[in-house]
Structure 1
Amino acid sequence: MTKLGIALMGTGRMAHVYGPKINAHPGLTLEVVFNPRIASAQKVSQEYGGRPMDDLDRVLADPAVDAVVIATPTNTHVEYIIAAAKAGKPIYCEKPLDQTLERVDQCLTMLDAHPVPFMLGFNRRFDPDNSALQQAVAAGEIGRLNMLMSTSREPSPPPMEYVRASGGYFVDATIHDIDLMCWIAGERPIEVFSHGSCVFNPEIGAEGDFDLTMTQMKMPSGAIIHINNSRQCAYGFDQRVEAFGTDGLLQTVNHRDDPLMRWSATHTEARTPLKHFFLERYDASFYHALDEFHGAVTQGRAPSASQSDGRAALAIALACAGSAKTGKAVAPDY
């Protein structure tokens, strides 16, 4: 298997997701951990290996670095993407590309001028359950797709510092569901209609954001898509997809630590809460996403979840945010 030397850009929460996955993959080697603050780079390097570095130019000029995995804050993505593209390094980048279409378009212009393999980290496509459902829909197992529904509810609201920098609930969280639904349906909406409210944390509402949302997307084929999101869920990380077609129904179910289902006079089904958060529920998806990136780079094919997918998902998320604020249906700015 062809080996790729990886520079892991960033040392925050997502670095601790990707560090172990890079080390677990037989075709990837963690060569460098980058952070402008060298102490942070050293700390992550001690956990997962790689040389700590704080000079971006040196990282991108390093002959041992074949590709970069960008796991930095969203507002730095465009800067690092452009630098890596100019250096001719293949790029895997966490979602979203940016929080504004203007910055995304600047980034896409530079990627056109400096073409390198690029993949956006929409990891839920690579969850085995979601992947199996998408393949079944594409194979026509349920006939024509008529309705597609995504439920995505988090255990508890994030810290306010995160909320303030997130770009809003639709851009931060719903964008995952948006990309997943468009990928499964094989098309993008011509119109979205969203509602949002704040029922769990008044501080989030004071920031002009939501912690409870519902979105409907109208597709060119006539299919209807529904997405419901909540920043709080008493029973854990609720993640389900349902596809309804002319010939049947497909569903993914929640994961539990204890899969045994029980029935008695006092209770039914499982006794344990759902997998607590995305790090546990979608653990395997991050490995499969990196495997797709490795295969695309080493085999000379375009990675899935491209920059155009990233732009479309952001355009749809921003349209959802606009709809929730105005109470009107909005056409995404493709």
Structure 2
Amino acid sequence: MIKIGVLGMGRMGNAHVPHLNANPNAKVVAAYDPDPQKAADAKAKFNLELANSAEELIKRTDIDAIFITSPTYCHIEALKPAFETGKPVFCEKPLCRTEKQCQEIEKMAQESKSVVTIGFVRRYDAAQKAYHEAIVSGKIGTVRDANVDLSLGVFKRMPGDWFADFDLSGGVVLDMLSHHLDLLIWDFGPVRSVVANATFESKYFPLPNDFAAAAVTFKSGVVAGINSSWHRSGRNANFMEAFGDDGSVSFSWGEQKYNFYLPGQPAQIIETGPKQDAYLLQDNAWIDSILKGTKPVVTLQDGINAFRFADAILRAAAEQTRVEL
């Protein structure tokens, strides 16, 4: 039985605990949240013991593994003591907020026995995996270009919320788009260069919203266009597509299918089976990797790569220059 301590009992902490407890080989036994109300609610809802600090929770000898669901800018404060213990760690995406933090994490990881996985949940979804396989298997031939359309028209965060503070959250690029950046690297390999424009959750806007657009070249030669937004009205889209010499594929997150196109022919709808809870699959895979001592599906390096991709987009937009990786 793997005994788990959870740091951060906000929306994601509350989402993960039931999944972790549903696994017969794991149990969440304790939690820490600096917000007294969130901590008290977690104790009552999940019958958890409460720690007085992140470090106290992480260094408890009866805690076998650490699950980090605190805000992005806080991740490093949990990772530091976790690395010292050598315990396995699950850290929600994105890995961190700044390049300085990323470098600190890299250094600590090199000196630690901790195996870290990052919460890129979309890699566990059956339809997303089938879309990926269609790309890497050669089904559409040599891939030439791709698009990502991530539009949220129901953004409701208000001033004072850390999501609405670019310095804390990194805006739509580091938060929501980081899923797609990880998937693009998974599909096409390392990034070569980025150009971009963004609004950086401008404080001059009446209410928080955000937008970023980027053009990316991968070392494989694939070029990609990316649009991402947090708006307070308008459409919602969560869409990816890739074009090869022999055909193309497209996929919308949440569907149990993807579209496959051959030149001059209508779309073939490729069904990918019944919907499964990707979060449950992800958490079970993490527990299984601990029990078996195997490499996690998503590694710390994957988290580092996705962070640096996002950071390159933000730097390219801020400096109005091409950023090479």
TM-score by length of 1: 0.81
Query: Which SS does the other structure have where 1:289 is aligned?
Result: helix
- CA contact 1:25–1:287 (8 Å) conserved in 2: no
1:155-183 CA-partner distances (Å, limit 9, x unpaired): 32332332212123322332222111111
Residue 192 (structure 2) pairs with residue 190 (structure 1):
yes
Q: Displacement of 1:206 after TM fit?
A: 8.1
Superposition RMSD in Å: 2.8
8 Å Cα contact 1:214-1:226 kept in structure 2: yes
Matches of 2:133 and 2:285 in 1, distance apart?
16
Structure 2 gaps, min length 5: 258-274
Q: Which residue matches 1:311?
A: 304
Distance 1:228 1:129 in 2: 22
Give the fraction of aligned pairs with identical amino acids, expressed as a percent: 23
> How far apart are the structure 1 equivalents of 2:136 and 2:233?
34
Cα 1:306–1:255 shift into 2, 3 Å: closer
Cα distance in 1 for residues equivalent to 2:29 and 2:121 = 23
Residues in 2 aligned to 1:130 and 1:19: alpha-carbon distance in whole angstroms: 24
Q: Write the mapping of 1:23-62 to structure 2, written as runs, cut at 5 A.
A: 23-37=21-35, 39-62=37-60
Return the TM-score normalized by structure 2. 0.83
Whether contact under 8 Å (1:4, 1:29) holds in the other structure is yes
Distance 1:204 1:19 in 2: 38
Q: Corresponding residue for 2:170? A: 167
1:74 aligns with 2:72: yes
Q: 1:61 to 1:311 in 2, by over 3 A?
A: closer
Question: 1:1-334 residue pairs with structure 2 within 5 A?
Answer: 3-37=1-35, 39-157=37-155, 158-161=157-160, 162-164=163-165, 165-185=168-188, 187-197=189-199, 203=203, 205=205, 211-232=210-231, 234=233, 237-253=236-252, 255=254, 284-332=277-325
Aligned partners of 1:68 and 1:89 also within 8 Å = yes
Q: Is the 8 A contact 1:95 1:310 kept in 2?
A: yes
**1:18-67 deviations in Å (ceiling 9; x for gaps):** 12221233332111122245553231122123322224444234343211
Q: Deviations over 1:250-272 (max 9, x none)?
A: 2213548xx9xxxxxxxxxxxxx
Number of aligned residue pairs: give it: 303
| Equivalent-residue separation in structure 2 for 1:75 and 1:234 (angstroms) | 27
Amino acid at match of 1:45: K
CA contact (8 A) 2:197 2:214 kept: yes
Residues 26/36 of structure 1: CA separation in 2 closer, same or farther (3 Å cut): same
Shift of residue 205 of structure 1? Answer: 4.6
In structure 2, how many angstroms separate the alpha carbons of the residues matched to 1:27 and 1:242?
Answer: 38
Mapped to 1, the partners of 2:53 and 2:171 lie a distance apart of 32
